[in-house]
Structure 1
Amino acid sequence: MAEISEVKPADSGSQISAADSQTAQEYIAEQMRLEADAKEALPYQFDSCTKALGALRQSLFSCLTCNPPPKALNDPYSAAGVCYSCSISCHGDHELVELFSKRDFECDCGTTRTPASTPCNLRSHATAGTKGNVTGELARLSNKYNHNFAGRFCGCGDEYDPHKEKGTMFQCLGLGSVEEGGCGEDWWHPECIMGLSRHNDGGLSSTKTKAPPLPSVTEEVEVQEQTNGTLYKDDDPPLPFGFPAEDDFEHMVCYRCVDANPWIKQYVGTTGFLPPVHFFGREAPQIKTPVLPGQNGNAQSDTSVVAAKRKMEEDIEESEAKRSKTDLTATDTPAYAPTGAPNAQPAADPAYHTTLPPIAEERFSVFLKEDFREHFCRCKDCFPRLAKLPHLLEEEDTYEPPVSESDPGDGQGSVGSRSLLDRGEAALSNMDRARAIEGVMAYNHLKDNLKSFLQPFADSGQAVGAEDIKAYFAKLRGDEAGLAQAATTTDGGGDGDNRREQSGY
């Protein structure tokens, strides 16, 4: 039998396995991958607070660390919303809830609505002129808040649990604040829009899990996407029976905002608007509980829905016929002008809103198509109420900070949004020629010396420890105390080479 020789360990106790080490190239590649991931998750520059721009429609975040929600729903709560940049630069290590876009809002960071322990690091003092540490500024009094800022969403008031909830939520277009009877651009579960239970398997919903309102910024974002006021997440459960398909509408106005603006009920089922989506909850006593699939049979349910739709259409046609007859009677006069009045004009067409169905008493939400704005009546009676809601007249812009530049050589990137390599190269490109040449020469000198220092380690296969690096740079600086300390640490007891794994080397 062949004799098996003993395998002895290497002389140096500082050697490490290949699995625990990486080359410089691997390290740089890993850092570049992390930077790319960070830029994808946070694509915008975050070095400027939006408060100086005034009230905007912008992406907002609620900081639950600075403004923790009350334990009881009825307790008073001082809410606050911060802009995208402040959520990163001033509240980066706090618990945040992303609210997505809300209109007519001014950043509350560094104001009387946020604690002095968390100042705004991006704005400058109005008197001192120094940047950062801004606290106690007057908050905008006309900012509007709802329970979203306390981490609750929808008419059900659910909190977001990323481990349990999934599905699709829809943001109301918003026709009023909570104080005005609206919802304040709340996010809604489809079942709650219709007043249905989200925990009932009787044909109302196919899952007992909950749809996510809005994700915390600490949650991974690759599985969710927001488009036109709709929040999507993978594995969305089917929409409840009677809820319109997502491709059929562009915006939604919840029943609360419709109640606050009942005039919009006239438009349901007309050009640019879908038929009403009724609310079947307790707050709608005139609407009886509908027969839905899974309760008394699909055939009976479908017949009931069709009959209800036909009845509604008949009512509308009858109303329009009566109105047309009335209009005809009122305007059934000779179209010719009497002798001696050659400039007389024919009777004007009636305003569009007078041809619409009467305002229904039922409670429902209104779903709008992409071109809905083109079909509002703009007569002298209707335009004033549209003017109070300018987003019904024209599509509104949402403010977005400048995108962080990815080209490392342009020097235009945001402070705090680029890598150290990018910032170094940008600073070098902005230097005057003489200083830039001196910097490059110093860098090359350091590189050559560092290569000479590392070569013996590469030849022997010995790993470079943190103390070796400290000693090397202490020698470059001529730091005798640093050299003595490094020698003491290296000569000290302990197993191996006494190397400690540290970041930053």
Structure 2
Amino acid sequence: MDDQKKPDQSTSAQPQNGEQDKSRRRESFASQDSQTAKDFLENQLKLEADAREVLPYSFDNCTQPLGALRQSIFSCLTCNPPKNLDDPYTPAGVCYSCSISCHGEHTLVELFNKRNFVCDCGTTRLPSTSPCTLRADPATGSKGVHSQEPAAGNKYNHNFQNRFCGCLEVYDAHTEKGTMFQCLGLGTVETGGCGEDWWHPECLIGLPRDWNKVKKQEAAMTEEEKKEATDGFDEDEETPLPPGFPGEDDFETFICYKCLDSNPWLKRYAGTPGFLPAVYKEGGLKDAEPKEAPAAAEAEKEQANSTKKRKAEDDLEEPDSKRTKEDSPDDHKDAKISTTSTETPKHKHDFLPKSAPTGTFSLFLKEDFRDHLCHCPDCFPNLIPHPQLREEEETYEPPLSEDGDEANGGGSQGTGSLLERGEAALSNMDRVKAIEGVMVYNHLRDKVKEFLKPFAESGQAVGAEDIKAYFEKLRGDAQGIQEAGGRAAAAGAGGQGEDPDGADNRKEQSVTKF
């Protein structure tokens, strides 16, 4: 190893000072690689707090016994490696708890929420070598069930192979830029829909994936600027939404063109209250400012007026009747009955445009879109298969862990601090064994403390070799402590760091510095 000097060391050191340089170099390496016990504990607690923030829920129970749920689903690429799209493939999804407890060391893809899904962990869709450690085998009663029959109602798409959007691009969280949007999902792959796929905004309006990069290159004036635009494209730059795509604040969710084609009755709602104008696959949003259709505006007015009492309407009509037939009360009564009986109440679909926009497009929905869908006897059958159109869905979330207090962020079971886990293990031990264990620990602690004391007084870092040598001589406590203490005191006083025979005694590793 080259003897590289620190900036504050003299570069004209004489040969007779070489041993002191070696000692200083040894101390420098030790101080760089070491940390105090306090720093170590603080860093450990910070890591544990970060873990609790990312995984705030308890992961002790698989959701399979709860049946079909709308829940967060993960695909395990270790158990089910993705293949080519044309090759036979058996997709599988696991719940939040199983993704941590059963597949915590595997490569996972978060699919976010999937509707009416039952956890596949422990079924024939996954290898028997990866059992569900949270569920018990009904036959044996022991944890670790595998090879059970999966739920027949689960629906899958290419997301389970880590492919997303209509472009079928493999998702890489480290390189992906921009925002993706999840379709409300009105159809499965089998029915021509997307299966709640996630879409790139540019793919919904027919632009290439690198549209922003191409746009920057075209805007550059010179070849040098083009090169800079290409080189700087990936440098911490947030990708904007493409032109022709609605602003994120303008809609709540959307229905992709695949799901819309499988439910064409919805196309007439484009541009009406609660819905943005059609966003075409080729060209995007045609109108910069969404405008309500005249018929739709009339529908809103008509619906508002329909809430008034019938008596008020009759009172308004009464003067005309009196002027024409004042001498015939019975005729007036008959006229009122006739007028009322011939008036046909209008439904919301009566005010929709007579024809839907042509072409392939996606439908973007505002927050109140459900209030504007027609529920008449003719239209309601279209809503029955899609409860997400009738009311906002509930998404299952595992219970927050009861372990840990608010200061610790409420971690899940098994995620307490090292101290908490040690105390929990001690409380579960036999009382006699626990007392004996504490006595042994206290004895060892006193011995180690006595060994470390000279290092603390001299400011010397404790190296791995120091600890190894101490425990090798632990059977001769007095001699071992005396020799270790002598070495630390000598190093602190004279800066020497060699064995008596003059060999370099630099520590290649160092541990906690006290």
Pairwise same-fold verdict (TM > 0.5)? yes
8 Å Cα contact 2:128/2:146 also seen in 1: yes
Q: Which amino acid aligns with 2:81?
A: P
Counterpart for residue 419 of structure 2: 421
8 Å Cα contact 2:37/2:512 also seen in 1: no
| Distance change (3 Å), C-alpha of 1:336 and 1:105 | farther
8 Å Cα contact 1:65/1:95 also seen in 2: yes
In the aligned structure 2, how far is the partner of 1:412 from the partner of 1:245?
A: 37
8 Å Cα contact 2:49/2:408 also seen in 1: no
| Distance change (3 Å), C-alpha of 1:437 and 1:196 | same
Question: Residue 203 of structure 2 aligns to a residue in which SS?
Answer: helix
Q: Are 2:45 and 1:43 equivalent residues in the alignment?
A: no
In the aligned structure 1, how far is the partner of 2:102 from the partner of 2:511?
A: 24
Residue of structure 2 aligned with 1:373, choices 358, 365, 370:
370
Q: Which amino acid aligns with 1:456?
A: P
Counterpart for residue 351 of structure 2: 355
Q: Which amino acid aligns with 1:420?
A: L
Q: Which amino acid aligns with 2:277?
A: P
Q: Are 2:76 and 1:79 equivalent residues in the alignment?
A: no
- 1:365-416: CA deviations, max 9, x gaps? 1111111111111122222322221111111122222334542899985333
8 Å Cα contact 1:269/1:276 also seen in 2: yes
User: How many residues align structurally?
Assistant: 431
Q: Calculate the TM-score normalised by the size of structure 2.
A: 0.70
8 Å Cα contact 1:48/1:85 also seen in 2: yes
| Distance change (3 Å), C-alpha of 1:418 and 1:345 | farther
Residue of structure 2 aligned with 1:157, choices 156, 168, 174:
168
8 Å Cα contact 1:409/1:426 also seen in 2: no
Q: Are 2:120 and 1:123 equivalent residues in the alignment?
A: no
In the aligned structure 2, how far is the partner of 1:207 from the partner of 1:45?
A: 49
Counterpart for residue 79 of structure 2: 66
| Distance change (3 Å), C-alpha of 1:409 and 1:147 | closer
In the aligned structure 1, how far is the partner of 2:368 from the partner of 2:443?
A: 66
Higher relative contact order (CA 8 A, sep 6+): 2
Counterpart for residue 273 of structure 1: 275
Counterpart for residue 454 of structure 1: 452
- 1:208-258: CA deviations, max 9, x gaps? 9xxxxxxxxxxxxxxxxxxxxxxxx97332322221111000101001111
In the aligned structure 1, how far is the partner of 2:295 from the partner of 2:343?
A: 28
In the aligned structure 1, how far is the partner of 2:335 from the partner of 2:294?
A: 45
- 1:291-317: CA deviations, max 9, x gaps? x9xxxxxxxxx9xx569999x958989
8 Å Cα contact 1:154/1:187 also seen in 2: yes
Say which structure is richer in helix.
Answer: 2
1:278, distance to aligned residue in structure 2 (A) = 1.4
Residue of structure 1 aligned with 2:255, choices 238, 253, 256:
253
In structure 2, stretches of 5+ residues that fail to align are 1-12, 219-234, 301-320, 322-330, 481-498
In the aligned structure 2, how far is the partner of 1:167 from the partner of 1:127?
A: 49
Q: Are 2:391 and 1:391 equivalent residues in the alignment?
A: no
Question: Residue 116 of structure 1 aligns to a residue in which SS?
Answer: coil
In the aligned structure 2, how far is the partner of 1:156 from the partner of 1:65?
A: 24
In the aligned structure 1, how far is the partner of 2:137 from the partner of 2:350?
A: 56
Q: Are 2:30 and 1:33 equivalent residues in the alignment?
A: no
In the aligned structure 2, how far is the partner of 1:112 from the partner of 1:7?
A: 68
Q: Which amino acid aligns with 2:165?
A: C
In the aligned structure 2, how far is the partner of 1:454 from the partner of 1:138?
A: 59
Tell me which moved more, 433-442 or 378-387.
433-442
8 Å Cα contact 1:44/1:403 also seen in 2: yes
8 Å Cα contact 2:165/2:197 also seen in 1: yes
Residue of structure 2 aligned with 1:172, choices 183, 188, 206:
183
Tell me which moved more, 41-50 or 151-160.
41-50
In the aligned structure 2, how far is the partner of 1:446 from the partner of 1:118?
A: 41
In the aligned structure 2, how far is the partner of 1:494 from the partner of 1:70?
A: 61
1:104, distance to aligned residue in structure 2 (A) = 0.9
Question: Residue 80 of structure 1 aligns to a residue in which SS?
Answer: coil
Q: Are 2:205 and 1:191 equivalent residues in the alignment?
A: no
1:6, distance to aligned residue in structure 2 (A) = 2.6
In the aligned structure 2, how far is the partner of 1:347 from the partner of 1:428?
A: 81
Identity %: 55
In structure 1, stretches of 5+ residues that fail to align are 209-232, 281-289, 293-301, 321-333, 484-490
Q: Are 2:10 and 1:8 equivalent residues in the alignment?
A: no
> 5 Å matches for 1:91-110?
91-110=103-122
8 Å Cα contact 1:409/1:422 also seen in 2: no
| Distance change (3 Å), C-alpha of 1:62 and 1:309 | closer
Counterpart for residue 245 of structure 2: 243
| Distance change (3 Å), C-alpha of 1:37 and 1:339 | closer
Q: Work out which of the two has the higher radius of gyration on C-alpha atoms and give 1 or 2.
A: 2
1:345, distance to aligned residue in structure 2 (A) = 5.7
8 Å Cα contact 1:45/1:401 also seen in 2: yes
